[in-house]
Copies of this chain bind each other. A is one copy, B any other.
Protein backbone atom coordinates (compact mmCIF):
# COMPACT_ATOMS: atom_id res chain seq x y z
CA UNK A 1 0.00 0.00 0.00
CA UNK A 2 1.49 3.23 -1.10
CA UNK A 3 -0.56 5.13 1.36
CA UNK A 4 0.44 8.50 2.71
CA UNK A 5 3.07 6.83 4.78
CA UNK A 6 4.90 9.99 5.52
CA UNK A 7 6.47 9.02 8.80
CA UNK A 8 7.78 11.91 10.81
CA UNK A 9 8.56 14.20 7.95
CA UNK A 10 5.18 14.10 6.28
CA UNK A 11 2.81 17.00 6.19
CA UNK A 12 5.14 19.94 5.97
CA UNK A 13 7.13 18.44 3.13
CA UNK A 14 4.31 17.56 0.81
CA UNK A 15 2.71 20.96 0.84
CA UNK A 16 2.42 22.02 -2.80
CA UNK A 17 4.85 24.82 -3.64
CA UNK A 18 2.22 27.04 -5.10
CA UNK A 19 0.04 27.11 -2.04
CA UNK A 20 -0.49 30.33 -0.20
CA UNK A 21 2.07 30.56 2.51
CA UNK A 22 0.34 30.78 5.79
CA UNK A 23 1.64 32.98 8.46
CA UNK A 24 3.77 30.95 10.81
CA UNK A 25 1.42 29.57 13.41
CA UNK A 26 1.59 31.84 16.36
CA UNK A 27 -0.53 29.22 17.97
CA UNK A 28 2.50 27.23 19.02
CA UNK A 29 3.11 29.79 21.68
CA UNK A 30 -0.45 29.92 22.93
CA UNK A 31 -0.80 29.26 26.53
CA UNK A 32 -1.31 25.65 27.35
CA UNK A 33 -0.48 25.51 30.99
CA UNK A 34 -3.79 24.00 32.01
CA UNK A 35 -2.76 20.40 31.91
CA UNK A 36 -6.08 18.81 31.07
CA UNK A 37 -5.64 15.56 29.19
CA UNK A 38 -2.21 16.22 27.84
CA UNK A 39 0.40 13.60 27.46
CA UNK A 40 3.84 13.40 29.00
CA UNK A 41 5.21 16.11 26.76
CA UNK A 42 2.47 18.46 27.72
CA UNK A 43 0.72 18.06 24.41
CA UNK A 44 -2.67 16.69 23.69
CA UNK A 45 -2.58 13.52 21.66
CA UNK A 46 -4.55 14.23 18.52
CA UNK A 47 -6.07 12.09 15.87
CA UNK A 48 -3.36 13.25 13.47
CA UNK A 49 -0.66 11.76 15.60
CA UNK A 50 -2.47 8.48 15.75
CA UNK A 51 -2.99 8.55 12.01
CA UNK A 52 0.64 9.30 11.29
CA UNK A 53 1.92 6.70 13.69
CA UNK A 54 -0.39 4.08 12.25
CA UNK A 55 0.39 5.09 8.71
CA UNK A 56 -3.20 5.85 7.78
CA UNK A 57 -5.35 8.91 7.29
CA UNK A 58 -7.24 10.68 10.02
CA UNK A 59 -10.43 9.64 8.30
CA UNK A 60 -9.54 6.03 8.79
CA UNK A 61 -8.72 6.55 12.42
CA UNK A 62 -12.01 8.30 12.86
CA UNK A 63 -13.85 5.44 11.21
CA UNK A 64 -12.12 2.78 13.21
CA UNK A 65 -12.72 4.50 16.51
CA UNK A 66 -16.31 5.32 15.72
CA UNK A 67 -16.92 1.85 14.38
CA UNK A 68 -18.54 3.33 11.31
CA UNK A 69 -18.12 2.11 7.77
CA UNK A 70 -15.90 -0.82 6.99
CA UNK A 71 -12.17 -0.84 7.40
CA UNK A 72 -9.52 -3.40 6.72
CA UNK A 73 -9.25 -5.54 9.83
CA UNK A 74 -5.47 -5.45 10.05
CA UNK A 75 -5.49 -1.72 9.66
CA UNK A 76 -8.18 -1.34 12.26
CA UNK A 77 -6.23 -3.42 14.73
CA UNK A 78 -3.12 -1.38 14.15
CA UNK A 79 -5.00 1.86 14.60
CA UNK A 80 -6.44 0.65 17.86
CA UNK A 81 -3.06 -0.47 19.05
CA UNK A 82 -1.45 2.85 18.29
CA UNK A 83 -4.32 4.76 19.83
CA UNK A 84 -3.99 2.75 23.00
CA UNK A 85 -0.22 3.09 23.10
CA UNK A 86 -0.38 6.82 22.68
CA UNK A 87 -3.18 7.07 25.18
CA UNK A 88 -5.31 8.81 22.64
CA UNK A 89 -8.70 10.06 23.70
CA UNK A 90 -10.73 12.06 21.19
CA UNK A 91 -11.40 15.63 22.18
CA UNK A 92 -15.15 15.70 22.60
CA UNK A 93 -15.54 19.35 21.75
CA UNK A 94 -13.89 18.90 18.39
CA UNK A 95 -16.07 15.98 17.61
CA UNK A 96 -19.22 17.81 18.56
CA UNK A 97 -18.25 20.82 16.55
CA UNK A 98 -17.41 18.84 13.49
CA UNK A 99 -20.50 16.75 13.64
CA UNK A 100 -22.66 19.69 14.46
CA UNK A 101 -24.28 18.51 17.64
CA UNK A 102 -23.56 18.00 21.27
CA UNK A 103 -23.41 14.54 22.74
CA UNK A 104 -24.78 15.61 26.06
CA UNK A 105 -28.21 16.30 27.35
CA UNK A 106 -28.96 18.54 30.27
CA UNK A 107 -31.12 17.57 33.18
CA UNK A 108 -32.41 20.14 35.59
CA UNK A 109 -34.05 19.30 38.87
CA UNK A 110 -35.42 21.49 41.64
CA UNK A 111 -33.41 19.80 44.35
CA UNK A 112 -30.50 17.45 43.95
CA UNK A 113 -30.78 16.40 47.57
CA UNK A 114 -34.20 14.85 47.04
CA UNK A 115 -34.16 11.08 46.56
CA UNK A 116 -37.20 11.26 44.35
CA UNK A 117 -35.26 12.68 41.45
CA UNK A 118 -32.43 10.24 41.45
CA UNK A 119 -34.37 7.25 40.24
CA UNK A 120 -35.41 9.28 37.27
CA UNK A 121 -31.94 10.62 36.69
CA UNK A 122 -30.49 7.17 36.98
CA UNK A 123 -32.76 5.54 34.47
CA UNK A 124 -32.53 8.44 32.05
CA UNK A 125 -28.78 8.38 32.33
CA UNK A 126 -28.57 4.69 31.65
CA UNK A 127 -30.86 4.96 28.65
CA UNK A 128 -29.06 7.96 27.23
CA UNK A 129 -25.63 6.45 27.80
CA UNK A 130 -26.66 3.50 25.70
CA UNK A 131 -27.11 5.90 22.82
CA UNK A 132 -23.80 7.58 23.42
CA UNK A 133 -25.09 10.59 25.26
CA UNK A 134 -23.76 11.97 28.53
CA UNK A 135 -25.80 13.76 31.09
CA UNK A 136 -25.22 17.22 32.49
CA UNK A 137 -27.11 17.85 35.65
CA UNK A 138 -27.98 21.04 37.40
CA UNK A 139 -29.87 21.98 40.52
CA UNK A 140 -32.22 24.93 40.17
CA UNK A 141 -32.90 25.09 43.87
CA UNK A 142 -36.58 25.18 43.01
CA UNK A 143 -36.41 28.80 41.99
CA UNK A 144 -38.38 29.49 38.81
CA UNK A 145 -36.12 32.30 37.62
CA UNK A 146 -32.94 30.36 38.20
CA UNK A 147 -34.53 27.45 36.46
CA UNK A 148 -35.09 29.30 33.21
CA UNK A 149 -31.65 30.81 33.02
CA UNK A 150 -30.18 27.47 33.92
CA UNK A 151 -31.99 25.91 31.01
CA UNK A 152 -30.84 28.60 28.60
CA UNK A 153 -27.38 28.10 29.86
CA UNK A 154 -27.32 24.37 29.51
CA UNK A 155 -28.68 24.62 26.02
CA UNK A 156 -25.35 25.94 24.87
CA UNK A 157 -23.62 22.77 25.96
CA UNK A 158 -26.31 20.21 25.56
CA UNK A 159 -28.22 18.89 22.62
CA UNK A 160 -31.42 18.74 24.60
CA UNK A 161 -32.97 19.11 27.99
CA UNK A 162 -34.95 17.08 30.45
CA UNK A 163 -36.63 19.37 32.92
CA UNK A 164 -37.99 17.78 36.03
CA UNK A 165 -40.96 19.03 37.96
CA UNK A 166 -40.53 22.46 36.52
CA UNK A 167 -41.69 25.35 38.64
CA UNK A 168 -41.47 27.88 35.82
CA UNK A 169 -44.56 29.86 35.08
CA UNK A 170 -46.29 29.52 31.75
CA UNK A 171 -44.59 32.57 30.29
CA UNK A 172 -41.16 31.22 31.08
CA UNK A 173 -42.12 27.85 29.75
CA UNK A 174 -43.28 29.41 26.53
CA UNK A 175 -40.11 31.36 26.10
CA UNK A 176 -38.21 28.13 26.59
CA UNK A 177 -40.39 26.43 24.03
CA UNK A 178 -39.78 29.31 21.64
CA UNK A 179 -36.12 28.38 21.48
CA UNK A 180 -37.29 25.48 19.47
CA UNK A 181 -34.74 23.26 21.17
CA UNK A 182 -35.34 19.66 22.12
CA UNK A 183 -36.83 19.83 25.59
CA UNK A 184 -38.99 17.39 27.45
CA UNK A 185 -40.77 18.05 30.67
CA UNK A 186 -41.17 15.51 33.41
CA UNK A 187 -44.11 15.88 35.72
CA UNK A 188 -45.23 19.17 34.41
CA UNK A 189 -48.15 19.28 32.08
CA UNK A 190 -49.17 22.59 30.63
CA UNK A 191 -51.63 22.73 27.84
CA UNK A 192 -50.93 25.52 25.45
CA UNK A 193 -47.21 25.18 25.81
CA UNK A 194 -45.58 23.44 22.91
CA UNK A 195 -43.33 21.13 24.86
CA UNK A 196 -43.61 17.35 25.08
CA UNK A 197 -43.96 15.85 28.52
CA UNK A 198 -44.07 12.64 30.45
CA UNK A 199 -45.56 12.31 33.86
CA UNK A 200 -47.41 10.39 36.47
CA UNK A 201 -51.17 10.37 36.65
CA UNK A 202 -51.20 12.06 40.00
CA UNK A 203 -54.87 12.82 39.89
CA UNK A 204 -56.08 9.25 39.60
CA UNK A 205 -53.67 7.96 42.17
CA UNK A 206 -54.58 10.59 44.71
CA UNK A 207 -58.23 10.02 44.06
CA UNK A 208 -57.65 6.37 44.78
CA UNK A 209 -55.93 7.20 48.02
CA UNK A 210 -58.91 9.32 48.99
CA UNK A 211 -61.23 6.52 48.08
CA UNK A 212 -59.23 4.15 50.22
CA UNK A 213 -59.60 6.57 53.09
CA UNK A 214 -63.32 7.17 52.71
CA UNK A 215 -64.05 3.49 52.35
CA UNK A 216 -62.24 3.06 55.63
CA UNK A 217 -64.67 5.55 57.12
CA UNK A 218 -62.68 8.77 57.08
CA UNK A 219 -64.49 11.99 56.35
CA UNK A 220 -62.14 14.67 57.59
CA UNK A 221 -58.58 15.01 56.36
CA UNK A 222 -55.81 17.54 56.12
CA UNK A 223 -53.64 17.78 53.02
CA UNK A 224 -50.07 18.77 53.71
CA UNK A 225 -49.47 20.48 50.41
CA UNK A 226 -46.28 20.79 48.40
CA UNK A 227 -45.05 23.84 46.49
CA UNK A 228 -47.95 25.76 44.96
CA UNK A 229 -46.09 26.09 41.67
CA UNK A 230 -45.69 22.35 41.41
CA UNK A 231 -47.94 20.68 38.89
CA UNK A 232 -47.86 17.49 40.90
CA UNK A 233 -49.11 19.35 43.91
CA UNK A 234 -51.87 20.95 41.91
CA UNK A 235 -53.01 17.64 40.54
CA UNK A 236 -52.98 15.94 43.89
CA UNK A 237 -54.92 18.71 45.49
CA UNK A 238 -57.40 18.72 42.64
CA UNK A 239 -58.05 15.05 43.30
CA UNK A 240 -58.56 15.65 46.97
CA UNK A 241 -61.07 18.33 46.25
CA UNK A 242 -62.77 16.03 43.80
CA UNK A 243 -63.03 13.50 46.62
CA UNK A 244 -65.49 15.73 48.35
CA UNK A 245 -68.16 13.94 46.37
CA UNK A 246 -67.05 10.76 48.06
CA UNK A 247 -67.60 12.44 51.35
CA UNK A 248 -64.07 13.52 52.17
CA UNK A 249 -63.76 16.94 53.68
CA UNK A 250 -60.24 18.26 53.41
CA UNK A 251 -58.30 21.42 54.06
CA UNK A 252 -54.83 22.15 52.78
CA UNK A 253 -51.86 23.36 54.75
CA UNK A 254 -48.65 24.12 52.94
CA UNK A 255 -45.50 22.39 54.07
CA UNK A 256 -41.94 22.27 52.83
CA UNK A 257 -41.64 19.12 50.73
CA UNK A 258 -39.13 17.59 53.12
CA UNK A 259 -39.08 15.46 56.24
CA UNK A 260 -38.51 18.55 58.31
CA UNK A 261 -41.39 20.22 56.54
CA UNK A 262 -43.78 17.42 57.42
CA UNK A 263 -42.53 17.32 60.95
CA UNK A 264 -43.01 21.04 61.36
CA UNK A 265 -46.47 21.19 59.81
CA UNK A 266 -47.98 18.36 61.80
CA UNK A 267 -49.07 20.44 64.76
CA UNK A 268 -50.94 22.84 62.54
CA UNK A 269 -52.62 19.93 60.81
CA UNK A 270 -53.76 18.51 64.13
CA UNK A 271 -55.57 21.72 64.93
CA UNK A 272 -58.06 20.84 62.22
CA UNK A 273 -58.84 17.63 64.09
CA UNK A 274 -58.65 15.34 61.06
CA UNK A 275 -58.67 11.57 61.23
CA UNK A 276 -56.26 11.37 58.34
CA UNK A 277 -53.29 13.33 57.13
CA UNK A 278 -52.61 13.15 53.43
CA UNK A 279 -49.04 14.16 52.79
CA UNK A 280 -47.77 15.65 49.54
CA UNK A 281 -45.07 12.99 49.39
CA UNK A 282 -43.29 10.32 51.39
CA UNK A 283 -40.73 12.73 52.74
CA UNK A 284 -43.45 14.86 54.29
CA UNK A 285 -45.28 11.79 55.52
CA UNK A 286 -42.13 10.56 57.25
CA UNK A 287 -41.87 13.82 59.09
CA UNK A 288 -45.48 13.56 60.13
CA UNK A 289 -44.94 10.05 61.41
CA UNK A 290 -41.97 11.18 63.45
CA UNK A 291 -43.85 14.06 65.01
CA UNK A 292 -46.93 11.98 65.70
CA UNK A 293 -44.82 9.39 67.46
CA UNK A 294 -43.33 12.11 69.62
CA UNK A 295 -46.79 13.34 70.40
CA UNK A 296 -47.92 9.86 71.30
CA UNK A 297 -50.56 9.78 68.60
CA UNK A 298 -50.97 6.22 67.48
CA UNK A 299 -50.75 5.60 63.74
CA UNK A 300 -52.95 4.17 62.31
CA UNK A 301 -55.32 3.68 65.25
CA UNK A 302 -55.76 7.33 66.06
CA UNK A 303 -54.57 8.82 62.83
CA UNK A 304 -54.07 7.60 59.31
CA UNK A 305 -51.18 8.97 57.29
CA UNK A 306 -50.54 8.58 53.59
CA UNK A 307 -47.56 9.48 51.45
CA UNK A 308 -46.84 9.61 47.74
CA UNK A 309 -44.03 8.22 45.54
CA UNK A 310 -42.97 5.12 47.42
CA UNK A 311 -39.37 6.09 47.96
CA UNK A 312 -37.19 3.29 49.34
CA UNK A 313 -37.76 4.36 52.87
CA UNK A 314 -41.54 4.25 52.68
CA UNK A 315 -41.53 0.56 53.32
CA UNK A 316 -39.38 0.91 56.37
CA UNK A 317 -41.00 3.73 58.26
CA UNK A 318 -42.79 2.88 61.43
CA UNK A 319 -45.51 2.04 60.59
CA UNK A 320 -44.87 1.26 56.94
CA UNK A 321 -46.37 3.94 54.74
CA UNK A 322 -49.47 3.69 52.63
CA UNK A 323 -48.48 5.45 49.45
CA UNK A 324 -48.68 5.58 45.68
CA UNK A 325 -45.91 4.05 43.61
CA UNK A 326 -44.79 6.54 41.01
CA UNK A 327 -42.73 4.50 38.53
CA UNK A 328 -39.76 6.78 38.28
CA UNK A 329 -37.57 4.52 36.19
CA UNK A 330 -40.27 4.44 33.56
CA UNK A 331 -40.43 8.20 33.53
CA UNK A 332 -36.72 8.49 32.92
CA UNK A 333 -36.82 6.07 30.05
CA UNK A 334 -39.82 7.67 28.47
CA UNK A 335 -38.24 11.08 28.71
CA UNK A 336 -35.15 9.88 26.94
CA UNK A 337 -37.17 8.11 24.31
CA UNK A 338 -38.97 11.30 23.44
CA UNK A 339 -35.86 13.41 23.57
CA UNK A 340 -34.03 11.00 21.32
CA UNK A 341 -36.83 11.06 18.79
CA UNK A 342 -36.74 14.82 18.88
CA UNK A 343 -32.97 14.91 18.44
CA UNK A 344 -33.17 12.69 15.43
CA UNK A 345 -36.00 14.60 13.90
CA UNK A 346 -38.39 11.69 14.26
CA UNK A 347 -42.03 11.98 15.12
CA UNK A 348 -42.55 12.20 18.83
CA UNK A 349 -43.99 9.05 20.35
CA UNK A 350 -47.20 9.54 22.25
CA UNK A 351 -46.86 8.52 25.86
CA UNK A 352 -49.82 8.65 28.19
CA UNK A 353 -49.44 9.60 31.82
CA UNK A 354 -48.04 6.72 33.80
CA UNK A 355 -50.43 5.10 36.22
CA UNK A 356 -49.38 5.07 39.85
CA UNK A 357 -50.40 2.09 41.91
CA UNK A 358 -51.63 2.71 45.41
CA UNK A 359 -49.93 0.60 48.02
CA UNK A 360 -51.86 0.02 51.20
CA UNK A 361 -49.47 -0.58 54.05
CA UNK A 362 -49.78 -0.03 57.77
CA UNK A 363 -50.16 3.71 58.19
CA UNK A 364 -53.81 3.79 57.27
CA UNK A 365 -56.81 2.19 58.99
CA UNK A 366 -60.34 2.95 60.07
CA UNK A 367 -60.68 6.16 62.06
CA UNK A 368 -61.22 5.92 65.82
CA UNK A 369 -64.84 5.89 67.07
CA UNK A 370 -66.05 9.28 68.11
Binary per-residue interface labels of chain A (141-185) against chain B in the complex, 1 for a CB within 8 Å, 0 otherwise: 000000000001011111110000000000000000011111000
Please determine whether A312 and B139 come into contact, CB atoms closer than 8 angstroms. no
A36 in contact with B181 (CB, 8 Å): yes
Counting every copy of the chain, the complex holds 2
- Check B345–A318 contact: CB distance below 8 A: no
Q: State whether A137 touches B137 (Cβ < 8 A).
A: yes
Q: Is A212 an interface residue (CB 8 A)?
A: no
Partner of A138, one of B135, B154, B181, B313: B135
CA distance A286 to B316 in the complex (A): 8
Could you say which residues of chain B place their CB within 8 Å of the CB of A155?
A: 37, 89
A236 proximal to B (CB < 8 A):
no
Known: A157-B92, A316-B287. A32 touches B115 (CB 8 A): no
Chain B neighbourhood of A36, CB < 8 A: 101-102, 159-160, 181-182, 343
B102→A180 contact, CB < 8 A: no
CB-defined contacts of A90 to chain B, threshold 8 Å:
156
Known: A34-B343, A115-B115. A91 touches B316 (CB 8 A): no
Q: Is the CB of A259 within 8 A of B313?
A: yes
B156 touches A92 (CB 8 A): yes
Binds B, one of A71-79, A117-125, A267-275, A301-309: A117-125
Q: Does A80 lie at the interface of the complex (its beta carbon under 8 Å from any beta carbon of B)? A: no
Please report A residues at the B interface, Cβ cutoff 8 Å: 19-20, 30, 32-40, 87, 89-97, 100-104, 106, 112-115, 118-119, 121-122, 125-126, 129, 134-139, 152, 154-160, 178-182, 259, 286-287, 289-290, 293, 312-313, 315-318, 342-345
A124 to chain B, nearest CB (A): 10
Q: Is the CB of B39 within 8 A of A180?
A: yes
Contact sample, A vs B, 21 pairs, CB 8 Å cutoff: A34-B344, A35-B342, A35-B345, A37-B179, A39-B180, A40-B180, A89-B152, A89-B179, A90-B156, A91-B97, A92-B158, A93-B93, A93-B94, A94-B97, A112-B125, A118-B118, A121-B137, A122-B139, A259-B312, A290-B316, A313-B313
A87 CB contact (under 8 Å) in B32, B33, B139, B179: B179
CB of A186, distance to nearest CB on chain B (Å): 16
A137 to chain B: which residues have CB within 8 Å?
121, 125, 135-137
* Contact assessment for B101 and A34 in the assembled complex, using a CB-CB cutoff below 8 Å: yes
* A299 CB to nearest chain B CB (Å): 11
A97 to B93, CA, bound (A): 5
Chain B residue contacts of A179, Cβ below 8 A: 37, 87, 89
Chain B contacts of A39 at CB under 8 A?
A: 180
Least Cβ distance of A314 to chain B in Å?
A: 11
> A134: which B residues are within 8 A, CB to CB?
106, 136, 138, 154, 157
Give the distance in Å from the alpha carbon of A290 to the alpha carbon of B361 in the complex.
14
A102: chain B residues at CB < 8 Å are 36, 92-93
Complex CA gap A310/B161 in Å reads 33
Shortest Cβ distance from residue A45 to the other chain B in the assembled complex, whole angstroms: 10
CB pair A37 B136 closer than 8 Å: no
Q: How far is the CB of A134 from chain B (nearest CB, A)?
A: 5
Report whether A37 and B118 are in contact in the complex, using a CB–CB cutoff of 8 Å: no
Q: Is the CB of A121 within 8 A of B126?
A: no
Q: How far is the CA of A125 from the CA of B122 in the complex (A)?
A: 17
**CB proximity of A344 to chain B, nearest CB, Å:** 6
